[in-house]
Chain A
Amino acid sequence: MAAASFAARLTVPQRSFRNLVELFAKEAMYEVVKNVRIPIYAVSTVAFPLMFYVLFGIVLTPNNPVNRSQAATYLLATMGTFGVMGASLFGFAVSLAVERGQGWLQVKRASPMPLSAYFAAKLISAMLFSGTIAVGLLTVGSVFAHVRLAPVQAAELISVLMAASIPFGALGLALGYIAKPNSAPPVVNLIYLPLSFCSGLWIPIFLLPKFLQQAARLLPPFHVSQLALRAVGMSRETGPTGHIQALVGFTLLFLGVAVVLYRRDEGQSYG
């Protein structure tokens, strides 16, 4: 054991701050590139909200032009929420479950990649897809449904929807640690679709039964949609503070669950 006491211990070059910035930028860039090239992700996360929006916001609306533009504006906020939730949930939960369960995350973790870069990249990717969805909906709404928003309102809507990637991404993270590679897509859909309906993203919340209106307050997408509706001037609620507080709370809760599940995984057969 004599050799062990003066075991090889040589100096190692340190990573500069510039290296670190480059690393985070590359990780994010390749996460986006990877997702853009997966048709089922890139097409469905952007195309589905747009299709639903065209259907419910433009085709199946009242004949009266005033109501029509109002309905289109309302649905801009709620379909935007629906789209962002999809991009974030699938971007986090499914890719994490697959990369974790099939060994790829192990390869990354055996390298000196900081784990924070891995998750930051997923968040940035979800935010960019969210921004794309928001801009796409705004374009369709203003060209085909006479939605008229001030530039400030449009900017606020896009910001709210992009920021919504944080709570939805946190939920996706927790689901990514719960689900197995093959079960992740159905698990996400099982949560995504009922959650969207009950939060009033398809049918306006005030048209839902009273008890569902009450229950919606326990659901993160409801609070996101209220902030989005505020941005376009159609919220029936008072201030934004309560919704922001609720979303911060949900985010912390989901991150807590993810951390517990991550710890449970440590040292087990998954990464």
Chain B
Amino acid sequence: MAAVIVQPPWPATPPKLTVAQANRVSKAYGSVQALREVSLGLRGGELLALLGPNGAGKTTLVRMLLGLASPDSGRISVFGADPRDEIMRYRVGAMLQVARVPETLRVREHIDLFSSYYPNPLPIAETLRIAGLEEIKTRRFGELSGGQRQRVLFGISICGNPDLLFLDEPTVGLDVEARRLMWAQIRALVALGKTVLLTTHYLHEADALADRILVLQHGAIVAEGTPAEIKARTIGKQVRFSSRLSVEEIRTIPGVVSATADQQKFELQVQAAEPVVRELLLRDSWLSDLEVTTAGLEEAFLALTQNHHSKGVN
């Protein structure tokens, strides 16, 4: 994928203005509460990552911002208008998760058709080049690998030269190499002043791309900040040991982010190991099997959401 894109014929959205916003939005599907009172503002030119595990409500929020679902309560606006306006859609591109795409059309034909929906699309050759589809443009969709399919969906999302891009888990199913290429392309779009909302369940992906991260858990926003701020809350150490202390007591020790116990075997997520270990040894000098490891990013992320959950906010 090349990292160049032509400028749109109209000026890019001035930075710092709110281009899309959700105001205390709730949505239930039957008995499942998909979103509860979620608010977010998407500023012009930023890349905002919605980070959360599967089922956290990321896709529901994206569908609402695209006008594909209406909130039970709360308000959504995109470019100051109702997201269901066709005019609004001229400036928006979307890469959604889709189970099946018409398989008998060729890659170039899919791009050609979607380009025709927009008043000022990119030239088709340009879209094919940006999305890395030149070599497979005559292939039918049904003949493509998973990664190639993702690239076609990416091509569809950018072919209209949109100002605002929604990417719903764009790198799912991609291998490491393809993921890096997709990241480079997304960064190139942001560098041109495009606004991007990306959903992911990988902390490292949000960290690599985003200006701002919102962590969504059980349909509610549980953390918000720059990648550095989010990481500061998540990156820490993992401490394992056996002890007679109660898990309730351990949770009161400063610096303990979360604690789980199985019989007398404990596993803690902590911000820094030394003060916690010192405190533990003071309280239980018989403590044994002590082990300190660096928490992986995903474990740390899990700790962040679990910790929030255990405090009963949800």
Q: Which A residues lie at the B interface, using CB under 8 A?
A: 3-4, 6-16, 19, 22-23, 26-27, 30, 33-34, 37-38, 98-99, 102-104, 106-107, 109-114, 181, 266-269, 271
CB A8 to nearest CB in B, in angstroms, measures 4
Tell me whether chain B's interface is mostly helix, strand or loop, or mixed. Answer: loop
Nearest residue in A to B66 (C-beta to C-beta)? A110
Q: Which of A6, A8, A181, A271 contacts B68 (CB under 8 A)? A: A271
B positions within 8 Å CB-CB of A:
9-11, 13-14, 16-19, 21, 29, 41, 43-44, 63, 66-70, 77, 79-81, 86-87, 89-94, 96-102, 104-105, 109, 112-114, 116-120, 140, 153, 156, 160, 163, 166
Which residues of chain B come closer than 8 Å to A110, judged between CB atoms?
A: 66-68, 89, 92, 94, 96, 166
Instruction: Determine if B112 and A26 form an interchain contact, defined as CB atoms under 8 angstroms apart.
Output: yes
Q: Which residues of A contact B10 (CB under 8 A)?
A: 10-13
Q: Please give the distance in Å from A110's CB to the nearest CB on chain B.
A: 4
Across-interface contacts of A4 in B (CB, < 8 A):
18, 21, 41
Q: Given the complex of chains A and B, what is the CA–CA distance between A222 and B81 in angstroms?
A: 49
27 A–B pairs (Cβ distance < 8 Å), ordered by A: A4-B18, A7-B17, A7-B79, A7-B80, A9-B79, A9-B80, A10-B10, A10-B11, A13-B120, A14-B119, A19-B119, A30-B112, A34-B104, A37-B105, A98-B100, A102-B100, A104-B102, A106-B96, A107-B96, A107-B98, A110-B68, A110-B92, A110-B166, A111-B118, A111-B160, A114-B86, A268-B29
**Which residue from B89, B98, B140 sits with its C-beta under 8 Å from A103?**
B98
* Contact between A109 and B68, CB atoms less than 8 A apart: yes
Q: In the complex, what residues of B have CB within 8 A of residue A104's CB?
A: 98, 100-102
Q: When A and B form their complex, which 7 residue pairs have the shortest distance between CB atoms, in order from nearest?
A: A37-B104, A103-B98, A102-B100, A112-B89, A110-B94, A102-B99, A8-B17
Contact of A12 with B87 at beta-carbon distance under 8 Å, contacts A23-B116, A26-B113, A34-B105 already known? yes
Interface contact B119-A13, CB-CB below 8 Å: yes
Residue of B nearest to A271 (CB): B68
Q: Known: A10-B13, A30-B105, A111-B117. Contact between A106 and B98, CB under 8 A?
A: yes
A112 and B86 CA atoms in complex are apart in Å by: 5
CA distance A264 to B82 in the complex (A): 20
Q: How far is the CA of A30 from the CA of B111 in the complex (A)?
A: 11
Nearest opposing residue in chain A for B99, CB measure: A102
Residues of B within 8 A of A181 (CB): 100
Contact (Cβ within 8 A) A266 B70: yes
B117 touches A8 (CB 8 A): no
A269: chain B residues at CB < 8 Å are 29
Contact of A7 among B18, B63, B119 (CB under 8 A): B18
Contacts of A111 in B (CB 8 A): 89, 93-94, 114, 117-118, 156, 160
- Cα distance, A9 to B80, chains bound together (Å): 6
Which interface residue of B17, B116, B118 has the most chain A CB atoms within 10 A? B116
Closest chain A residue, CB of each to CB of B60: A269
Residues of B contacting A98 in the complex (Cβ-Cβ under 8 angstroms): 100
Residue in A closest to B17 when the chains form the complex, CB atoms: A8
Among A13, A99, A103, A271, which residue has its beta carbon within 8 angstroms of that of B9? A13
Q: Which residues of B contact A23 (CB under 8 A)?
A: 116-117
Beta-carbon nearest neighbor of A113 in chain B: B117
